[in-house]
Structure 1
Amino acid sequence: MHKDQLLTRRRALLAGAVAAGTAGTAGVLTRGAGERPARPAGPVAGAPARPALAPSAYRLQPLTGYGPPRAAPGRTPVRRTPLLRVSGRGRTMVLTFDDGPDPRYTPDILDTLARYEVRAMFFVCGGMAAENKDLLARMADEGHVVGNHTWSHPLLTDLTRGRIRTEMERTCDVIEDAYGERPEWFRAPYGAWNRAAFQLGAELGMEPLAWTVDTLDWTTPGTRTIVDRVEEGAAPGVVVLSHDAGGDRSQSVQALRSYLPQLLDSGYHVTVPRRQYV
């Protein structure tokens, strides 16, 4: 299938997926698919420069207690829409990477995150994770969050409930084995969610997380384009979608090296969410 056909299909899937709704939580909010995040105000003549990021300890601090409260102790609520953005103190953003880990690109992404002392989320496919457990172990050592992106990246809306469970459970098992704990977050491939995915994810103790800013890096649009999409979409609470596998991700690697220091210099707190258990 040609790239433009893939792009058309992906956009159709996103349009057909659940677009909006209320999260009904304190700390994680949803946004309708048709809304754009507010861009940070541009520089104004005579205005002071935007503040630099606080010390590295602040960069590394996970946003504890800002995830959605549990419906009851030990029980994950069943949602009807995915969570699309986060909220926290100040200019907070979350970077997420899908489809890996891939030994050709994931180590370079981890190196860049380590250089700037930033944590991110990796939604891994079980088949890739099983072949690259050392990379999941490194993610655990460096404080990144690993989420479930199914075993083989299928279109969940085409699968039976039993197949969806198998895709999720197998991935949970390999993540636990390599990362050290079971995932608390999941993301549907292509952003195509259905009722079974929400229900099964909740049964497995996972919250559904989508995104606010899609870099479309999987189309290899050019490093500068990826950087521009992140910088133009940057705003408090956004979740950025990129990829570290599934094709040639050299542009994604190069783009991260460019936009991450710029986000930090602009005062953004780039970190990972932690769910609140009540």
Structure 2
Amino acid sequence: MQKDQLFTRRRLLLAGAAALGAAGTAGVVLASDAEDAARTVVPAAGPPPRSALKSSAFRLQPLTGYGPPRTEPRKLRVRTEPIMEIPKSGRHMMLTFDDGPNPNYTPHILDTLAKYDVRAMFFLCGECIVVNRELVARMAEEGHVVGNHTWTHPLLTTMNRSEIRDEMASTSDAIEDTYGERPQWFRAPYGAWNRAAFQLGAEMGMEPMAWTVDSTDWTTPGTRTIVDIVEHGAAPGVVVLSHDAGGDRSQSVKALREYLPYLLDNGYHLTVPRRRT
């Protein structure tokens, strides 16, 4: 991303913006295994053993070139705070990656997830989508869920409603053109939410998703530190925040290779939200 250094400076100034307090989990439905990820709720007893990745079960045909009309979103109720965790039944966790896609780091993260047959959420920036469409198509092919992270990663609390709408709507359009469907999830840059973001997200059919554990990879604290934070923060219902763009993310790539097998070996099931129909 062209604004990597700016992102890093902003994040250092806004690290406290993500302290949001506890939030409910109503409305979060999780996908279980590769065969049923698009339509099945995770059973209370936990999902069946992980099976070989079958990408055909997830394939979403890109709509690039067809143009408007766009898919009409189903409007949602307006929340007053974001979802910060997933249901705690079973030992489910969710991995999320922000700011991408980035050709230097995202492919390595996708490779590691594929190696362990795990799916994750990617909150994408529109300006990165349009120059890395093949990576978004790969996310669709391999069953990952993508969310809206605005077009240029601005601080929404400094913008008017029209500007916020443009950032969100243009990114949803880019995701639909490349991923194959409009996103159903939104994450505010820096975790800085305001009323307009909640309202506009609901109008566009997107639930607000925050996180439970911040890996702090955006501060490049060292691979070992990132691994320790994720492993020590692991618990049922946890949503982990990491990044695959917005700066040098080589530590994020290396850390995932260490903590992902640890989580699986300790009985955690890495899941993603179920698509709403």
With normalisation by structure 2, the TM-score equals 0.80
> What is aligned with 2:136?
136
Shift of residue 273, structure 1, vs aligned partner: 1.1
Q: Does 1:57 align with 2:51?
A: yes
C-alpha contact (below 8 Å) 2:124/2:147 kept by paired residues: yes
> What is aligned with 2:99?
99
Shift of residue 193, structure 1, vs aligned partner: 0.2
Q: Does 1:10 align with 2:6?
A: no
> What is aligned with 2:256?
256
> What is aligned with 2:174?
174
Tell me the alpha carbon deviations over residues 115-149 of structure 1, each in whole angstroms, 9 at most, x when there is no partner. 00000000000000111000000000000001000
Are the structure 2 counterparts of residues 225 and 21 from structure 1 closer, same or farther at C-alpha, using a change threshold of 3 Å?
closer
Are the structure 2 counterparts of residues 204 and 27 from structure 1 closer, same or farther at C-alpha, using a change threshold of 3 Å?
closer
> What is aligned with 1:19?
21
> What is aligned with 1:32?
none
Structure 2 residue matching 1:242: 3-state secondary structure = strand
Are the structure 2 counterparts of residues 4 and 26 from structure 1 closer, same or farther at C-alpha, using a change threshold of 3 Å?
closer
What is the distance in 2 between the residues matched to 1:131 and 1:262?
Answer: 34
C-alpha contact (below 8 Å) 1:127/1:152 kept by paired residues: yes
Flag as ranges the 4+ runs of structure 1 deviating above 3 A. 1-8, 20-23
> What is aligned with 2:191?
191
Structure 2 residue matching 1:56: 3-state secondary structure = coil
Tell me the alpha carbon deviations over residues 21-41 of structure 1, each in whole angstroms, 9 at most, x when there is no partner. 445x2657xxxxxxxxxxxxx
Are the structure 2 counterparts of residues 6 and 224 from structure 1 closer, same or farther at C-alpha, using a change threshold of 3 Å?
same
Structure 2 residue matching 1:57: 3-state secondary structure = coil
What is the distance in 1 between the residues matched to 2:205 and 2:124?
Answer: 17
> What is aligned with 1:205?
205
Q: How many residues are treated as equivalent by the alignment?
A: 240
What is the distance in 2 between the residues matched to 1:3 and 1:77?
Answer: 31
What is the distance in 2 between the residues matched to 1:220 and 1:232?
Answer: 18
> What is aligned with 2:152?
152
Structure 1 residue matching 2:228: 3-state secondary structure = helix
Q: Which residue type is aligned with residue 244 of structure 1?
A: D
Structure 1 residue matching 2:103: 3-state secondary structure = coil
What are the ranges of 5 or more consecutive residues in structure 1 without an aligned counterpart?
29-52, 63-72
Are the structure 2 counterparts of residues 165 and 27 from structure 1 closer, same or farther at C-alpha, using a change threshold of 3 Å?
closer
Shift of residue 212, structure 1, vs aligned partner: 0.1
> What is aligned with 1:222?
222
With normalisation by structure 1, the TM-score equals 0.80
Q: Which residue type is aligned with residue 233 of structure 1?
A: G
Are the structure 2 counterparts of residues 57 and 100 from structure 1 closer, same or farther at C-alpha, using a change threshold of 3 Å?
same
Shift of residue 58, structure 1, vs aligned partner: 9.1
Shift of residue 271, structure 1, vs aligned partner: 1.4
Q: Which residue type is aligned with residue 248 of structure 1?
A: D
What is the distance in 2 between the residues matched to 1:132 and 1:237?
Answer: 31
Tell me the alpha carbon deviations over residues 29-64 of structure 1, each in whole angstroms, 9 at most, x when there is no partner. xxxxxxxxxxxxxxxxxxxxxxxx96323999x9xx
Q: Which residue type is aligned with residue 56 of structure 1?
A: R
What is the distance in 1 between the residues matched to 2:134 and 2:8?
Answer: 35
What is the distance in 1 between the residues matched to 2:10 and 2:216?
Answer: 11
What is the distance in 2 between the residues matched to 1:2 and 1:185?
Answer: 25
C-alpha contact (below 8 Å) 2:8/2:246 kept by paired residues: no
What is the distance in 2 between the residues matched to 1:105 and 1:272?
Answer: 21
What are the ranges of 5 or more consecutive residues in structure 2 without an aligned counterpart?
30-46, 58-72
